Amino acid sequence: MIVDCAIYRDGHRTDGPRDFSDALDEARAAGGFVWIGLHEPTEKEFAKVTQEFALHPLAVEDALKAHQRPKLEVYDDSLFLVLKPVVYEPESDAVSTGEVMVFLGDGFVVTVRHGVGSPLSAVRRRLEREPEMLGKGPTAVVYAICDTVVDHYVEVATELQTDLEELEAEVFSPDGGGSRHTASRIYTFKRQILEFRRATGPLALPLHRLAGTGPFGGSYGTPVPYVNDKARPFFRDVHDHLTRVNESVDGLDRLVSDILSAHLAQMSVRQNDDMRKISAWAAMAAIPTMIAGIYGMNFDHMPELHWVWSYPAVIVVMAGLEVLLYRLFKRRGWM
């Protein structure tokens, strides 16, 4: 469905025509641009937009089907940018992702949103309160969307860091580390980080291109069309924020792997301690079992069999050996 359609001129909003097919011509005639926002459009709803703005069929297919990785595609009449906003759900400590597709061309911006995360209405309202920024043209819209998405990344990374500290405290606590659910919690947390990485990692290259820089600080040979050259420093700033997020995600991934290894090592140590205790008790039980087994055999000729003090002597010997073994195992930490 079409969420909003407006024409912007000199940084100020003017109501778009009822039929958005006339919006582009009206915006270009006024020296402004048109911004159309859609949420999970059907193929039929998007067909008219495709026709009026001459969108590339491959990009249209990606926008309708969604489930794309972050990328930037350059076509003859437009740019196609895909971002994956991330939402942190505190009730379940889970990370969920949506998708935002942006078509940028001469005098128009078309945004397509999938999922419940990161509604663009807040971005639109913020830009409408900053006419100087909005007066930069369609590039300002793309920058504001990228900036908002990456700022949400920073917030989610902070939340995940807090969750990881709580998980770390649980693993290394005297009682919590042995819980049967701890390993599954660690693995689930690692899956959340992987989902987060799928959104943040691939976005680095598109932001490099929008900023006009190569992956290692060099310049791309051909500037990205439809992007105002004066906006490139702003995209570099967004890219710097994304770099910090990616570094944070890498650190979280390494740390949660270390926590999982430490938890498995703790479980192994506990199992070894349990086995040593079981072995110690088994060794202590073996002595009276052996003596009782020997004297339980039905032979007539056995040493001290008819001696009056045989029974108390055997009891004293067994008790003495048990005490000796107990003190030996206790000294070695087996009990």
In this predicted model, what pLDDT tens digit does every residue of 134-170 receive, in sequence order? 888 899 999 999 999 999 999 999 999 988 888 888 7
Please tell me the least confidently modeled range out of 130-134, 191-195, 329-333: 329-333
pLDDT of residue 305: 65
3-class SS shares of the chain: helix, strand, coil, % to 5:
60, 15, 25
Give yes or no for residue 89 having a pLDDT over 70.
Answer: yes
Kindly indicate the confidence band of residue 17, based on its pLDDT and cuts at 50, 70 and 90: low
* pLDDT over threshold 60, residue 319: yes
Identify the weakest region by mean pLDDT among 55-64, 68-77, 173-182, 186-195: 173-182
**Residue 334 pLDDT:** 65
What whole-number distance in Å separates Cα of residue 184 and Cα of residue 163? 15
Average pLDDT, the chain: 82
Q: pLDDT digit string (tens) for 181-239?
A: 777 888 888 888 999 999 999 999 999 889 886 654 445 556 788 888 888 889 999 99
**Under 8 Å between Cβ of 33 and 26:** no
pLDDT at 61 (0 to 100): 92
247/273: higher pLDDT: 247
Predicted local distance difference test score (pLDDT) of residue 314: 75
In the chain, DSSP assigns E strands to 2-9, 12-15, 33-39, 71-74, 78-83, 86-89, 94-97, 99-105, 108-114
When pLDDT is cut at 50, 70 and 90, the band that residue 300 belongs to is low
pLDDT score recorded for residue 238: 95
pLDDT band (50, 70, 90) for residue 84? very high
* Mean pLDDT in residue range 274-290: 76
Confidence of residue 315 (pLDDT cuts 50, 70, 90): confident
pLDDT at 295: 67
Give 254-281 pLDDT, tens digit per residue: 988 888 877 777 777 676 776 777 777 7
What is the Cα–Cα distance from 200 to 198, expressed in whole angstroms? 6
Band (180; pLDDT cuts 50, 70, 90): low
**Farthest CA pair distance, the chain:** 123
The CA dihedral of 127, 128, 134, 137, to the nearest 10 degrees, is: 100
* Whether pLDDT at 177 is above 60: no
The answer to whether 13 and 130 have CB atoms below 8 angstroms apart is no
pTM, two decimals, is: 0.77
The closest of 147, 117, 116, 153 to 133, measured between CA atoms, is 147
Q: Is pLDDT at 91 greater than 70 in this prediction?
A: yes
Report the pLDDT value the prediction gives residue 102, as an integer from 0 to 100. Answer: 94
DSSP state, residue 179: -
Residues 242, 206: contact at Cβ < 8 Å? no
pLDDT over threshold 70, residue 335: no
Cβ atoms of 95 and 86 within 8 Å: the answer is: yes
